[in-house]
Amino acid sequence: MVTISDFITLSYSNDLTQAGIAYGLRSLPYSYPRERGDVPQRLRQVVASKGVELAFKRYLVARGIPHKVWGTARFANPEGHALELGGRECVLATAFLSEKDTIRKVHQTPEALLPAQVAVPSGQVPSLLQVRNMIYVFAFLTALIAGTRQRVARAMEAGQDTCLVHNVPPEKFCSKQGSSLGEVSLKCDTSKPVSITLGGQKAKREFQSVRLTLSPRERLVVPVEFYSLSYLQIEKWPDGVVGLHSPLCKEPYLISSSQWANIWVYGMRIIFVGYLPGETFAREAQRLPPGKRIFPGRKTLVENLVFPVHELRPLQELFDRTREWGE
């Protein structure tokens, strides 16, 4: 069992969000090929999770804790990497806390996390045979988001970073025959020029991006060849429509000014609360049906496996065993 003295609290830096965004955008073709709903919110979760993962790796390096990082070589997402501790794959499960009252409470009284539950979507927990070779490390990230146009404007006025993105539905700009999208062109109906980045894949599914500047109401042909487009990114919120066209599409794909989302995560603190061997988590965690509430009151969208924070094992125990295994 853990106490608050076992928690490991780290400050959060902007470069963690930058790394998370880079990963999230590059993995879009693999992560959300057919999903609908709030893709920007899921992207923020990916950004937060990857930022926490990077912070954890830096912590291991700084303290000389033996570990390995290797490419997963999984066709489902070749952008992914796996972390190994003591010969087992280490999976970080991060809960994203973005409500101001919750953040204030957790910062002032970290013991408020002890009666909480950590959660992992049950669909992401592999079979018992596979999970025996895994370790789950659980963390909470306190962070704010600026999701509305007004909040983005205030963030920019305060000199804070933003990342304005529109995720392109895969059926719009992804050739089913694996051929090129042809001559892709852009046009904007705005009062000012728009600096825009397109991200997608080349012929062999390698990631590529290109940055362009659009003049109002002038058609611009993209100078590189895409086989699929995943997202568009702009520097400032446009005051008009941005249009995208490919010979494979009968009509232009139009993006209104309300269809951009800021996926920047304004992180504050990372609190690593403990760990569990994969087999223990899979056997002892309770199933929580979709629609149920979990700390700090958010509703779950899918079935989760949940486990009380106070019953986790201290991370220092894991680090000590990892050092012994390494020796």
Q: Is the pLDDT of residue 176 over 70?
A: no
The full set of domain ranges for the chain reads 4-145+265-326, 163-261
Question: pLDDT value at position 300?
Answer: 81
The alpha helices in the chain, defined as continuous H runs, are 14-26, 28-31, 39-62, 100-108, 128-131, 149-157, 278-284, 315-326
Question: pLDDT value at position 255?
Answer: 95
Q: What is the mean pLDDT of residues 310-322?
A: 95
Mean pLDDT estimate for the chain = 89
Q: What is the mean pLDDT of residues 122-145?
A: 91
Q: Is the pLDDT of residue 72 over 60?
A: no
Question: pLDDT value at position 171?
Answer: 74
Q: What single-letter amino acid sits at 277? A: P
Question: pLDDT value at position 279?
Answer: 95
Question: pLDDT value at position 79?
Answer: 58
Q: Is the pLDDT of residue 37 over 60?
A: no
Q: What is the mean pLDDT of residues 279-300?
A: 87
Which range is most confident: 22-26, 250-254, 323-327? 22-26
Confidence bin at 70 (pLDDT 50/70/90)? confident
Instruction: Please state, in angstroms and rounded to a whole number, the distance separating the CA atoms of residues 153 and 96.
Output: 23
CATH of domain 163-261: 2.60.120
Burial pattern 139-165, b for ≥16 Cβ within 10 A else e, equals bbbbbbbbbeeeebeebbeeeeebbbb
Question: pLDDT value at position 74?
Answer: 47
Question: pLDDT value at position 53?
Answer: 95
Question: pLDDT value at position 203?
Answer: 86
